[in-house]
Structure 1
Amino acid sequence: MIAKLESVPDGTTATFERHFKHSVTSVWAYLTDNDLLPEWFSELRVKELRNGGSMVFDMRDGNLIEMRITACKPASVLEYSWGEDKVRFELDAEPEGCRLLLIETIGTLTDHTPKDLAGWHVCLDVIAALLDGGVFQDRKRAWEQQYETYVALVEEYRLS
């Protein structure tokens, strides 16, 4: 399932929706537990998990970028800055597991936007594999395939 792009007052939202046959608590752990985060996003860590706290992005060149947490409701909502934009995760229990929405609010679409969207898409696929006890093979190839999809999606959206 590819992201859905929508125009909003402060730019564009890209919404990814996933349904997992796992509890909200299990999915929340992958988003917030520093022991699990590296399994799907090696550069990302939680510094302080609370409203006003922060996430840290390791640029792998000696630089750490601190991203402010703007919304945090345990096992429900996690939102933080993502450069000039923001990323929001929403979790809701369902009869057979949970629904995850990842909503990236993008101020300005750029040539880099499809790269980020493909990255988030693959990250969610990796989380799904990990939750199911599997291993995700060849992230680079998966990203390359998704990147082409998101280049087309962003272009179509711009033209609409």
Structure 2
Amino acid sequence: MIASIEKTEAGYTARFDRHYIFPVTEVWSWLTENDKLSQWFPELRVKDLREGGSLIFDMPSGTAITMEITDFTPHAVLEFTWGADLVRFELSPEQQGCHLVLIERLGKVTGHTAKDLAGWQVCLEVISSLMEGKSLESRDDEWKKWYEKYQLLLQAYLTAE
């Protein structure tokens, strides 16, 4: 399911909603434990898991970016800076597993936004596959498919800027 995009006073909000058959504790572990995190987002790692703590994004150039954790509630909320934007994961239990909401707060929509949203889309698919003991055949093919969809979705926002 494609993310919803909403114009806000501060910019834009992209929202992904997923329902998993796994409990909150299992899904949380995929977001916060480096051995699992590296399987779906190899460039990202937790350095200090707490509000005011940080995640590290390893760049292909060999440098690293520190991203501050701005909101944190164990097994419920993980929010961190993403450049000038914010990324927030929210987990809540459901009768048959858990509900995950991924929100990216964007100051503005740029030519790079569709790439990021397609990336998050694939990340969520990979997490689901890994929890089910499966793998995606080609992350690149999935990303390309979603990138085209997000480019189309964001065209109206790009022309409005």
Q: Deviations over 1:104-135 (max 9, x none)?
A: 00001100000000000000000000111111
Once the two structures are TM-superposed, the CA of residue 158 in structure 1 deviates from its matched residue by 4.7
2:130 partner SS? helix
2:155 partner SS? helix
Mean CA deviation greater in 150-159 or 140-149: 150-159
Match of 1:139 in 2: 139
Q: What is the number of equivalent residue pairs in this alignment?
A: 160
C-alpha separation between the residues in 1 aligned to 2:75 and 2:136?
24
- Are the counterparts in 1 of residues 51 and 69 from structure 2 also a CA contact under 8 Å? yes
- 1:70-81 correspondence to structure 2 within 5 Å: 70-81=70-81
Please give the TM-score of this superposition, normalised by the length of structure 2.
Answer: 0.96
C-alpha separation between the residues in 2 aligned to 1:49 and 1:142?
30
C-alpha separation between the residues in 2 aligned to 1:118 and 1:155?
14
Please give the TM-score of this superposition, normalised by the length of structure 1.
Answer: 0.97
Amino acid at match of 2:15: T
- Are the counterparts in 1 of residues 43 and 59 from structure 2 also a CA contact under 8 Å? yes
Q: Deviations over 1:43-75 (max 9, x none)?
A: 000000000000000003221100000001000
Match of 1:111 in 2: 111
In the alignment, is residue 122 of structure 1 matched against residue 122 of structure 2? yes
In the alignment, is residue 43 of structure 1 matched against residue 73 of structure 2? no
2:34 partner SS? coil
Amino acid at match of 1:58: D
- Are the counterparts in 1 of residues 51 and 70 from structure 2 also a CA contact under 8 Å? yes
Match of 2:83 in 1: 83
Once the two structures are TM-superposed, the CA of residue 86 in structure 1 deviates from its matched residue by 0.5
Match of 1:60 in 2: 60
Q: Deviations over 1:75-126 (max 9, x none)?
A: 0000000001010000010000000000000001100000000000000000
C-alpha separation between the residues in 1 aligned to 2:60 and 2:147?
22
Once the two structures are TM-superposed, the CA of residue 156 in structure 1 deviates from its matched residue by 3.4
Once the two structures are TM-superposed, the CA of residue 136 in structure 1 deviates from its matched residue by 1.6
C-alpha separation between the residues in 1 aligned to 2:45 and 2:142?
23
Match of 2:152 in 1: 152
Q: Which runs of 5+ in 1 are unaligned?
A: none
Once the two structures are TM-superposed, the CA of residue 141 in structure 1 deviates from its matched residue by 0.4
RMSD: 1.1
1:66 partner SS? strand
- Are the counterparts in 2 of residues 91 and 100 from structure 1 also a CA contact under 8 Å? yes
C-alpha separation between the residues in 1 aligned to 2:159 and 2:93?
36
> What is the identity percentage for the equivalent residue pairs of Structure 1 and Structure 2?
51
